[in-house]
Amino acid sequence: MTQSARCEGPRPVLAVASECAPLVKTGGLADVVGALPHVMARQGWAIRTLLPGYRKVMTALDRPKVALKIPDLLGHPARILAAQVAGLDLLVLDIPALFDREGSPYLDADGNDWRDNDLRFAALSKAAALIARDGLDGWCPEVIHLHDWQAGLTPVYLAQLNAPQPSVLTIHNIAFHGLTGPERLPALDLSSERFTVDGFEYYGHVSALKAGLTGASAINTVSPSYAQELTTEAFGMGLEGVIRKRAADLCGILNGIDTDTWDPARDPMIAPFKTPATKVANTRILRAEFGLDEASGPLSVVVSRLSDQKGLDLLLGALPDYLAAGGQLALLGSGDRRMEHDWLQTAARHPGKVAVRIGYDESLSHRMYAGADAVLVPSRFEPCGLTQMYGLRYGAVPVVARTGGLADTVIDANAAALAACCATGILHAPGSIPALAHALRHLCALHAQPETFRKIQRNAMKHPVGWEASAPLYAALYARLADQRNPQA
């Protein structure tokens, strides 16, 4: 591509992902995939996002155009539909036999992985490679942006189809590898030549994530600290050696949040406010909605998946001291059935002090951040985390584990930071009930000093949490990859 050709308009990128807000969301991945097209447009890059045609996604499409018909995509007839939804330029992989189902994108009604997840997301990856090779009505991406294991096989198919585009794989959570058995190679149209330790073989299994790690032109993850952590045995989930070998191609780019949607001064889901002192109405609303008593101690919230990763079993262990010190807790989340039961039982034992809602409600989450004194994120590991950023934006002081993106976004209220008036939250060692309990005692002590606590809240609300710093880094990464392919450009 020539320099003059670039000036004609934004440079094209194909993003490949399993979810995208506001259409389908199970976590922060969807928020990032939904936000990047908007923020990158201002950097001169036009992203078209390829999504599976889940029932919920198909329902949201209004008069989509058939952009491509694929007679046989891993044993199924398929269509690529093009549509504009919520300001997003979407490409949707329509294979009813694989995606037209009720419930979670990944799990059946019993909470188990869909048995054909390997085929479903291999089809997504191969569709991306076909689009890259053949283009769509004259449109052809310069760069392919892959998100997590669900898009991890794309570089393999790009190579098999001789598609020349470079790719970048963003690791949102390395805990999920997308494993399947080697007997599935023919069904997935994967050559056995790359089923090696240097390819996508992982302890006798096919790993879609490892395929991306070894095959993508570049790798990034969603915070600088998590990028460093992934090179260690403690956080690399068995892939730390692979990542260390690709260290020259690895970077960490911190996620941001949509500061228009998450704006306490203009949020239609809450009683809008501009300063910590004017949060009072939202706190009153939140206590009433959850049936919590009036209290002098801090009101904390948790908005999270209920899983071991998120450390919410640790919070159960640290909770008694926090409640004894006058603290309250409102929790919204779902996930591990055992953990759901334990939290419901805890709420039943502490009426007026602990309240739990199982499930997810976007509007309620806004009201929780708006009404809370603090948001708790005690994760054992956290690639980036958006919860603490929503808390910062709404003056809900983050109490977070010192790991990954949590460490990169929160300034601990230690003596030095308090003296310098720059503290925005409280950090503690990950994976430790005593450390978490100490952090909660520190929260209660700071909350008992209203002037100091209000300073921390004001600092939090001023802390930058948008994409202003990170979008140029993605633009530079895209340009480097595209220009390596076109050295004369």
Q: Quick check: helix, strand or coil at residue 323? A: helix
**CB-neighbour burial class of residue 137 (10 A; exposed 0-12, middle 13-18, buried 19+):** exposed
Crossing angle between the packed helical segments 312-324 and 433-447, to the nearest 10 degrees:
40
Least Cα distance to 252 among 174, 152, 142, 156 occurs for: 174
Cβ atoms of 216 and 146 closer than 8 Å: yes
Q: What is the DSSP letter of 161?
A: T
Q: Quick check: helix, strand or coil at residue 319? A: helix
Cβ atoms of 475 and 37 closer than 8 Å: no
Residue 262: both structure tokens together:
């998450």
Query: What's the N-to-C CA distance of the chain in angstroms?
Result: 5
Cβ atoms of 65 and 83 closer than 8 Å: yes
**DSSP-assigned letters across all residues of 184-208:** GTTTTT--GGG-STTTTEETTEEEH
Q: Which residue type does 94 have?
A: D
Cβ atoms of 155 and 215 closer than 8 Å: yes
Binding residue per annotation — 25?
A: yes
Please, what is the Cα angle at 406 between 121 and 281, to 5 degrees?
Answer: 105
Q: Pairing mode, if any, of strands 65-73 and 45-52?
A: unpaired
Cα–Cα distance between 412 and 418 in angstroms, integer?
Answer: 9
How many other CB atoms are found less than 10 A from the CB of residue 123? 26
Q: Which residues are annotated as a binding site?
A: 25
Q: Which residues are annotated as a binding site for ADP-alpha-D-glucose?
A: 25
